[in-house]
Amino acid sequence: MNSLLDALPARAESSRIESISMQAAIESNAINARLEANRAYGRLLGSVDEALHELQTPVISDGAIHNARKALKKARAALRLLRDGVDKVTYQTENAALRDAGRCLSPLRDARSLIAAFESLREHHPDEVPWSEVGPLHTALRAKRAAARRRLVRSSNGIRHGIRLLDTCRDRMTRPQFSAVESIASTAIISRIRDMYRSGRKARNVAKLIGTPEVLHEWRKAVKYLRNAVEGVYGSNPDLPASAAAREVATISRRADEIAQLLGDDHDLAVLSQDLDSDDGKGLTVSVSESVRALIEKQRATLEKRAIDLGATLYDQKPKRFASVFKRLSLEHSG
C-alpha cells in the first residue's frame, strides 16, 4: 500500500512533464503549428462559397436552403476558432453577417421541419392518433411553408438580402488583414475547441436538470458548434495520421452529430406542439389535439433521454482532458 502511495507523486510529475513536452513540441514547429488555422480559414471561406452557390441556383429548392444554412453554421464555427486572429469589432461584424444571412433562411427551414416532424409522427405511429382527423393541421403547415417560400424569394429581407450580406462578408474575409488569421498557433485553435466543449458540457448539465425546449435548444447549438469546429479542422484530413488520437476525434465528431440530430428532432416536435395552440390547430377537436400532443410528448421524452445519455459519453471529461486529444494529434503531425 505504501509503495502505491509513494508512486503517486512520481506519476503526477511524469504526467506534468509529458504535458509540458507535448506543448513545447507543438509550439516549436512553426509551420505545422499553423495547420489547424489554415484548415479553419479554408473552411470559413469554403463554407461561405458553398452557401452562396446554393442561394444563387436558378431554382431555389428546400434542399438548397437546408444546405445553405448548414454551410453558414460551419462558417460561424470556423470563424469562432479564428477569433484570436482578428480584433473584436471584426469578429462581431463577420459573425453578425453570417448570423443574419442564416436568419433570412430560417422561416422556410422552420416551416419545412414542422411538416417533416408531422409526417414522421404519422408514419411511425399510424394507430396512436386518428390521423384522418388531423388533416387540417397538415394543410395549415403546408400553406405556411408555401407562404414562407414566397416571402423568401420576394421579400427584401429574403434570399437577395442574404446574398448581399455574404458577398460583402466574403470580400472582407479575403483582405490581407483578415488572412493573418492563418498565423494563429494550433494551441489557440485547440483552446477555442476546449471552450466550445466546456460550454456544451455546462449546457448539458442545465438541460439534464431543467429540460425546457429553450434550454435544450441552447445545448443543441453548443453541440453543433463543437461538431462543426472539430469536423472543419480535423475531419477527413489526409494530412493527419491515422492514429488512436485521430480515431478518438472521429468518435467525438460522430457523437456530437448524433446528439445534435436528436435535439433537433426534439426541438421540431416542441414547436409542432406549440402550433396546436395557434391558428394552425384551430381545425382540430380538443380530443384529437390532445392525442397529438400526448404522442409528441412521448416522443420528446424518448429523444431527450437518448440525447442526455449519449451526452454523458461525449461530455464525460474535464475540458482540459478533452483538449489533450487534439494536442496529441497536432504533436503526431508535427513529429
So what's the pLDDT on residue 104?
Answer: 93
What confidence tens digit (pLDDT) does each residue in 179-219 have? 778 788 889 999 999 999 999 999 999 999 999 999 999 99
So what's the pLDDT on residue 304?
Answer: 97
User: Around 135, how many Cα atoms within 13 Å sit in the side-chain half-sphere?
Assistant: 2
Instruction: For the beta carbon of residue 250, count every other beta carbon within 10 angstroms.
Output: 16
| Domains identified in the chain, total number | 1
Which residues does the chain have with pLDDT short of 50? 1-13, 15, 17-18, 20-22, 24-33
**pTM of the entire structure?**
0.85
Q: Is residue 61 a part of any domain in this protein?
A: yes
Q: How far apart are CA 171 and CA 161, in angstroms?
A: 16
Instruction: For the beta carbon of residue 74, count every other beta carbon within 10 angstroms.
Output: 24
Q: Is residue 47 a part of any domain in this protein?
A: yes
CATH value at residue 129: 1.40.20.10
Q: Is residue 165 a part of any domain in this protein?
A: yes
Question: Sign of torsion, CA 165 167 171 174?
Answer: positive
Tell me which DSSP letter residue 59 carries. S
Which positions ≥6 away from 264 have C-beta within 8 Å? Answer: 220
Q: Is residue 291 a part of any domain in this protein?
A: yes
Q: In whole angstroms, how far apart are CA 209 and each of 204, 205, 214?
A: 9, 6, 13
Q: Is residue 172 a part of any domain in this protein?
A: yes
Type of residue at 145: R
Q: Is residue 28 a part of any domain in this protein?
A: no
User: Containing domain of residue 141, as a range?
Assistant: 33-334
So what's the pLDDT on residue 10?
Answer: 46
Place of cell 423568401: 152
Q: How far apart are CA 118 and CA 175, in angstroms?
A: 46
Q: Is residue 4 a part of any domain in this protein?
A: no
